[in-house]
Amino acid sequence: MIVTLGRAFSVSWRYEGGFGVEYDCTCPEGFLGERCELREDQCSSNPCARGTCVSRGNHYTCECDRGFSGELCDQREDPCESEPCFPAVTCSPSPAKRPGETGFKCGPCPEGYTGDGINCVAVGVSCSDQPCFPGVACFDLTGHVAGYRCGKCPRFFSGDGESCVRSDKAACSTGVCSEVSKCTESELPPGFRCEPCPVGYYGNGVTCTAECLKPCPKRQTCVRPNECGCAPGYVGRKCDHPTCYPKCRYGGVCVRPNLCRCFSGYSGSYCQTSLCSKPCQHGGRCLSHNRCLCPYGYSGSQCHIVRCRRPCQNGGQCVGLNRCRCPPGYQGRHCETPACSPACLNGGTCLKPGLCACPSGYQGQRCQEALCSPPCQNGGKCVRFNTCKCPFGYRGHRCHVPVCHLVCMNQGRCVGHNQCMCTSGWAGQRCDQPVCRPSCKNGGLCVMPDICSCTRGFYGADCSKDSRRRYRSGYHYYRG
């Protein structure tokens, strides 16, 4: 007989001669011993070819040496697969003879480079040699890719940065020179040439500043030779009005060029930001001082009032956009539907919490009581409209018909469960016992209504007369 113990072990029992019991344990994988109490060392057979075996219960894994892979570390890896050499340098596998060796060998560096094949550096060319077009930024490269890289060509030039040519775009039309200096297109960098500033100006042609022999008053500057005008940021006859751009908003006052003094409730470089002492809720945005611009479905000074397109009914509370929280006993999107718990039965309609409107033929708080008219008789139970469930011994729509399992005899009539109403001259539960009036005497037996069978020696309607004659039969019948 084999008995399985749990999920892992099985025991085979052997009965010998009726004395004692021997058993053998069949151990699952990973266990051994007479009772499977020893865990097997999965690494005892040294299954890993080129790696270290790690026992993990009922299985093992191999941690492979460098250059080997596979479940048993028996597959040699290609060390050149990861492209360890410098670009364009040949890589060839080379078995590692000593610890720390790479297991591959790189060929010589490309022409113009020097190194061990893994790292190659360009010989003699760097940004210090100024290889890029004049005015173009140069970047020295490091790592596997040595050399340099040139930036973009200057404005109005095109090329790779090392060689740039003049483009067709006109420079002078873009305002590269001062308004009072003459501009000329050029094929040389920067692509244009500005004439010297005219008399009464100083500068390099790109910018020309007017000169005034006398200092200009406060908030004014020299705008043309020996002519003062309002300094940038000021206007007015006396240049005493500062200007702000953009203009100060929400009643803010420009007090210095591009500096606004804001009223309470506003901030920002030109008073464009409204401040609300209480933050706007539900994604609202502060529109003006303590005034929020609310998203659809919310209102109030802080957008704290939730709005429902249709009002919540029956005491429901609007808690979200067109979303009502209904009180107990109501349900629906707007709490418009009463809910009866337990639910109305037999097609009843819930009018309000706990009150059902029952269809014809039912009554009760949940319309659970059926009505039968006329009512069920003899202990019958109304189970559906005008449908009675009769007790044992009765039948009919109203349980008004008794059932007699023993048939009434001699024209008797069933009037109740196993109750017979007998005709004159009969009695008993089944009307099977005749009645003699007067009753038979002297041991006579009533065999039919008012008919006695007398014992020997007696006669008469009720066997009350003594007979001195002997008769052959034991009984004589007399009808009274």
Domain boundaries, the chain: 2-39, 241-306, 436-479
Q: Write out the two tokens for 169.
A: 């775009």
Q: Count the neighbouring beta carbons within 10 Å of the beta carbon of residue 184.
A: 11
Q: Phi and psi at residue 431, in whole multiples of 5°?
A: 60, 35
Burial of 120 (0-12, 13-18, 19+ CB in 10 A): buried
Which pTM does this prediction carry? Answer: 0.34
Q: What is the pLDDT of residue 192?
A: 92
Location of structure tokens 């190659």? 120
Nearest by Cα to 102 from 110, 111, 93, 90: 93
DSSP 132: S
Q: Give dist(CA 339, CA 332) in Å, integer.
A: 9
Q: What is the pLDDT of residue 73?
A: 87
Q: Give dist(CA 286, CA 105) in Å, integer.
A: 70
Q: Count the neighbouring beta carbons within 10 Å of the beta carbon of residue 101.
A: 13
Q: What is the pLDDT of residue 259?
A: 92
CATH class of 241-306: mainly beta
**228 neighbors 222 (Cβ within 8 angstroms):** yes
Q: What is the pLDDT of residue 15?
A: 45
Residue 96 CB contacts under 8 Å (≥ 6 apart), including other chains: 66, 67, 102, 103
Q: Where are the beta strands (DSSP E) in 226-376?
A: 227-230, 234-235, 241-242, 253-256, 259-261, 266-267, 273-274, 285-288, 291-293, 298-299, 305-306, 317-320, 323-325, 330-331, 337-338, 349-352, 355-357, 362-363, 369-370
Beta strands 201-203 and 208-210, pairing class: antiparallel
Q: Give dist(CA 465, CA 453) in Å, integer.
A: 13
Instruction: Return the C-alpha torsion angle 417, 423, 428, 431, nearest 10.
Output: -80
Angle (nearest 5°) at CA 28 between 26 and 31: 95
Q: What is the pLDDT of residue 234?
A: 93
Nearest by Cα to 408 from 429, 433, 435, 436: 429
Q: Write out the two tokens for 327.
A: 């009180």
Q: What is the pLDDT of residue 204?
A: 93
Q: Phi and psi at residue 430, in whole multiples of 5°?
A: -110, 10
Q: Is 172 helix (H, G, I), strand (E, B) or coil?
A: helix
**157 neighbors 167 (Cβ within 8 angstroms):** yes
Q: What is the pLDDT of residue 243?
A: 93
Q: What is the pLDDT of residue 472?
A: 44
Q: What is the pLDDT of residue 339?
A: 86
3-state SS, one letter per residue, for 334-395: CCCEECCCCCCCCCCEEEECCEEECCCCEECCCCCEECCCCCCCCCCEEEECCEEECCCCEE
Burial of 365 (0-12, 13-18, 19+ CB in 10 A): middle
Q: Write out the two tokens for 450.
A: 């008012």
pLDDT tens, residue order, the chain (480 aa): 444 444 444 545 444 444 445 667 877 766 777 777 777 777 878 888 888 888 776 778 888 877 778 888 888 777 788 788 888 888 988 766 665 566 788 999 887 777 888 887 767 677 888 889 988 999 987 755 557 889 999 999 999 888 899 988 899 999 999 999 999 999 988 899 999 999 999 999 999 999 999 999 999 999 999 999 999 999 998 898 999 999 998 889 999 999 999 988 888 888 888 888 788 888 888 877 778 888 887 888 888 888 787 888 888 888 877 788 899 888 888 898 888 888 888 888 888 888 898 888 888 888 888 888 888 888 888 888 888 888 887 888 888 888 777 788 888 888 777 788 888 888 888 888 898 988 888 888 888 888 888 888 888 888 888 875 544 444 555 444
Beta strands 323-325 and 317-320, pairing class: antiparallel
Please give the C-alpha separations between residue 355 and each of 360, 367, 371, 383, 426, in angstroms, as whole numbers. Answer: 16, 10, 18, 21, 59
Q: Write out the two tokens for 194.
A: 């500005």
Instruction: Return the C-alpha torsion angle 276, 278, 279, 280, nearest 10.
Output: -80
Q: Give dist(CA 344, CA 332) in Å, integer.
A: 17
